[in-house]
Chains A and B, each alone.
Chain A
Amino acid sequence: MEKTYPDAYMESLKPPVTSIGVIGWIRFNLFNGAFNSILTIITLLLLWKTVPPVFKWAFIDSVWFADSSACRGSDGACWSIISANFRFIIFGFFPYESQWRPLLAMTLLFGLLFYSKDRNHWKKSLGYAWIIGLIAMGMFMRGGIFGLAPVESAKWGGLPLTLLLSVFGLTAAYPLGVILALGRQSKLPALKLLCVLYIELIRGVPLISLLFMSSVIFPLLLPEGVTINNILRAQTAIILFTAAYIAEVVRGGLQGMSLGQYEAAESIGLNYYLTMRLIILPQALKIVIPPTVSILISAFKDTSLVVIISLWDLLKTSKSILSNPEWMGFSRELYIFIAILYFLGCFSMSNYSRKLEKELSTEN
């Protein structure tokens, strides 16, 4: 065999030193041209001006575990506001000696959520585990059974309440939204009209007004003596509201499906229900994972609006601490803490959705 290529083609040539490594990267990304060089320098100056003071405030001059008077004497962050009031922020008015119960309920919830992350675990037994888990959580929160002291729901607050509203709100709103989207595509005019009306009406009002309606107007319509739990009413409002948005996103996914998929499903004899369940929805819902997660994330944050109907969620318990004269003025620290908690929730949702998308991808 004769060589047809010169040797230089066979050896892999290394690129010039100036275009690889740290120096290459800096040159290419930060100083490629006068304008970018100026921008880089300005940015570095700004960072130098802001980062060290913030770092100093948050970590060096800060007070972590002390009372408020120690905080007042210091220039740094007063993280003590969190450590000193931690249990009230997290559990609200739940009886102090029974706070292990919501803690256990939350641990159970996180355990189940964590276990459910892996799609290989999505079996019937997991469904049963959730049912049992939810009953157990309810039991821990309510009490009144197995010698647990009953705690009325008006005393539920803080993180457990936020989780309750969002986890239930989102899991119930999702299937409802899918059903509404299917209804909106229905060939039955009455059903279609009903779904369109629902979606447009709910989307046409802010969540706050729905929450007010559920807490102020709705009880007026009930017969005398009948009351419905405040949390349940807020919960319902959140579900109804979120479902309308999910319905529209899912509709977008359904419209993205080609007619050929319906025809192929029909031509092997699948009925409407099976066509939707096995062929159309798995594909359509996968397409709309990113916008769906956006809606779920914003719904999660919107649960903080229940403050206005005087439910003591995480944000409300925190705010109430700030009205205590002892801790007045340390709102920055507290809000940063709450923001971190919300961020963790939102970030893990978006992280998980990206993982799910990757797993469900069938393109190579």
Chain B
Amino acid sequence: MNQESSERTNNQTENGSMIEIIDMHKWFGEFHVLQGINLTVHKGERIVICGPSGSGKSTLIRCINRLEEHQQGKIVVDGIELTNNIKNIEKIRAEVGMVFQHFNLFPHLTIVENLSLGPIWVRKVPRAEAEENAMYYLDKVHIAEQARKFPGQLSGGQQQRVAIARSLCMNPKVMLFDEPTSALDPEMIKEVLDVMIELAKEGMTMIVVSHEMGFAKSVAHRVMFMDFGRIVEENTPEQFFENPQHDRTKLFLSQILH
């Protein structure tokens, strides 16, 4: 733990940011969905973003790996700026892991094939090595015994853990989570959050869009609240939950915490 945290501070002081977003705007047609986002994410930092639906939080993290295209401003990931250069986009996508609300596993492939596909075809890892690696990560998300099954045969929580392992197989430098637990049955949320907490303990850089406030309190360095395409408030979890500054944040928190 000590070693890990010192490593983190080292990284931070050494070269600052993993992701840098400067005055980024995005429109869906006429709708101004992101209105000037400024965000720096350091290596090893974990950020939880919350906010009402339609506030642009999913769109924000989808811009980071170019699933959505921003129209103004600048996004730099690991020193590479996101432009229309398709080679750069593919490079960044391979470095940035993404976990979706609806898992999006490939239903025609077995679990282990789901995991080894990226390494084999994008990283050109030999098949045997890729599958061995896949088994390592499946073990890590406590699901190795399901390796030969198809996604349709697993529960939602298991599928989401597989999805996390699939991203990890690419050795990402950043992990993005887009509401990873909101499509799950209540009793399955914990098993997914546990895996994410383990990942956090290993020092992964993470940006998580989620309303799991317990998760935010226990692992986040910073919590952000977004509304109407802007980051309204950001703070440490302690300050954020105990002493929210904006009325909008207070209202939101009172509604989700009951």
Residues of A within 8 A of B (CB): 258, 260-261, 263-271, 274, 278-279, 282-283, 286, 360, 362-364
Task: State which of B122, B151, B153 has its C-beta within 8 Å of the C-beta of A269.
Answer: B122
Lowest 7 A-B CB distances belong to which pairs? Answer: A269-B94, A264-B104, A268-B118, A267-B98, A260-B104, A362-B150, A269-B122
Q: Are A269 and B100 in contact (CB under 8 A)?
A: no
Which residues of chain B are within 8 angstroms of A269 by Cβ–Cβ distance? 90-91, 93-94, 118, 122, 170
Which residues of chain B are within 8 angstroms of A271 by Cβ–Cβ distance? 86, 90
Q: Are A279 and B106 in contact (CB under 8 A)?
A: yes
* Residue B65 CB within 8 A of the other chain: yes
Q: Are A264 and B100 in contact (CB under 8 A)?
A: yes
Complex: how many Å from CA A114 to CA B59? 52
* Residue B96 CB within 8 A of the other chain: yes
Q: Are B152 and A362 in contact (CB under 8 A)?
A: yes
What is the CB-to-nearest-CB distance from B247 to chain A, in angstroms, rounded to a whole number?
35
Complex: how many Å from CA A278 to CA B152? 18
A-B CB pair tally, cutoff 8 Å: 68
Complex: how many Å from CA A269 to CA B122? 6
Complex: how many Å from CA A282 to CA B150? 15
* Residue B160 CB within 8 A of the other chain: no
Complex: how many Å from CA A86 to CA B108? 47
Q: What are 27 A-B residue pairs whose CB atoms fall within 8 Å in the complex? A: A258-B104, A260-B100, A260-B102, A261-B104, A263-B98, A263-B104, A264-B98, A264-B104, A264-B106, A266-B65, A266-B93, A267-B67, A267-B93, A267-B98, A268-B94, A268-B118, A268-B166, A269-B94, A269-B118, A269-B122, A269-B170, A271-B86, A271-B90, A362-B107, A362-B151, A363-B150, A363-B152
Which residues of chain A are within 8 angstroms of B150 by Cβ–Cβ distance? 362-363
What is the CB-to-nearest-CB distance from A226 to chain B, in angstroms, rounded to a whole number?
43
Nearest A-chain residue to B105, judged by Cβ: A264
Complex: how many Å from CA A263 to CA B100? 9
Task: State which of B67, B151, B153 has its C-beta within 8 Å of the C-beta of A266.
Answer: B67
Q: Are A268 and B122 in contact (CB under 8 A)?
A: yes
* Residue B117 CB within 8 A of the other chain: yes
Q: Are A267 and B65 in contact (CB under 8 A)?
A: yes
Complex: how many Å from CA A283 to CA B104? 13
- Given A263-B98, A279-B106, output 13 extra A-B contacts at Cβ < 8 Å: A261-B106, A263-B104, A264-B98, A264-B104, A266-B65, A268-B170, A269-B94, A269-B122, A270-B117, A270-B121, A282-B108, A283-B107, A360-B108
Among B94, B98, B108, B122, max chain A CB count under 10 A is at B108
Complex: how many Å from CA A268 to CA B108? 17
Which residues of chain B are within 8 angstroms of A260 by Cβ–Cβ distance? 100, 102, 104
Interface residues of B in 101-118 (CB under 8 A from A): 102, 104-108, 117-118
Nearest A-chain residue to B169, judged by Cβ: A268
Chain B: residues with Cβ within 8 Å of the partner, total of 28
* Residue B158 CB within 8 A of the other chain: no
Complex: how many Å from CA A364 to CA B152? 8
Which residues of chain A are within 8 angstroms of B65 by Cβ–Cβ distance? 266-267
What is the CB-to-nearest-CB distance from B69 to chain A, in angstroms, rounded to a whole number?
12
Nearest B-chain residue to A268, judged by Cβ: B118
Nearest A-chain residue to B67, judged by Cβ: A263
Complex: how many Å from CA A271 to CA B98? 16
Which residues of chain A are within 8 angstroms of B97 by Cβ–Cβ distance? 267-268
What is the CB-to-nearest-CB distance from B90 to chain A, in angstroms, rounded to a whole number?
5
Which residues of chain A are within 8 angstroms of B181 by Cβ–Cβ distance? none
* Residue B249 CB within 8 A of the other chain: no
Complex: how many Å from CA A265 to CA B86? 15
Complex: how many Å from CA A20 to CA B90? 64
* Residue B167 CB within 8 A of the other chain: yes
Which residues of chain A are within 8 angstroms of B107 by Cβ–Cβ distance? 283, 362
What is the CB-to-nearest-CB distance from B123 to chain A, in angstroms, rounded to a whole number?
8
Complex: how many Å from CA A260 to CA B151? 14
Among B105, B117, B153, B170, max chain A CB count under 10 A is at B117
Among A265, A268, A279, A360, max chain B CB count under 10 A is at A268
Nearest B-chain residue to A275, judged by Cβ: B121
What is the CB-to-nearest-CB distance from A270 to chain B, in angstroms, rounded to a whole number?
6
What is the CB-to-nearest-CB distance from A95 to chain B, in angstroms, rounded to a whole number?
50
Complex: how many Å from CA A268 to CA B122? 8
- Residues 50-90 of chain B, each 1 if its beta carbon lies under 8 Å from chain A, else 0: 00000000000000010100000000000000000010001
Task: State which of A258, A278, A286, A360 has its C-beta within 8 Å of the C-beta of B117.
Answer: A278
Q: Are B108 and A286 in contact (CB under 8 A)?
A: yes
Q: Are B108 and A270 in contact (CB under 8 A)?
A: no
Which residues of chain A are within 8 angstroms of B100 by Cβ–Cβ distance? 260, 263-264
Nearest A-chain residue to B176, judged by Cβ: A267
Complex: how many Å from CA A279 to CA B170? 17
Which residues of chain B are within 8 angstroms of A362 by Cβ–Cβ distance? 107-108, 150-152
Nearest B-chain residue to A363, judged by Cβ: B152
What is the CB-to-nearest-CB distance from A329 to chain B, in angstroms, rounded to a whole number?
56
Which residues of chain B are within 8 angstroms of A364 by Cβ–Cβ distance? 152-153
Among A258, A269, A270, A271, max chain B CB count under 10 A is at A269
Which residues of chain B are within 8 angstroms of A274 by Cβ–Cβ distance? 121-122
Known contacts A279-B106, A283-B107; A268 and B152 CB within 8 A of each other? no
Q: Are A270 and B122 in contact (CB under 8 A)?
A: yes
Q: Are B67 and A268 in contact (CB under 8 A)?
A: no
What is the CB-to-nearest-CB distance from B140 to chain A, in angstroms, rounded to a whole number?
17
What is the CB-to-nearest-CB distance from B166 to chain A, in angstroms, rounded to a whole number?
7
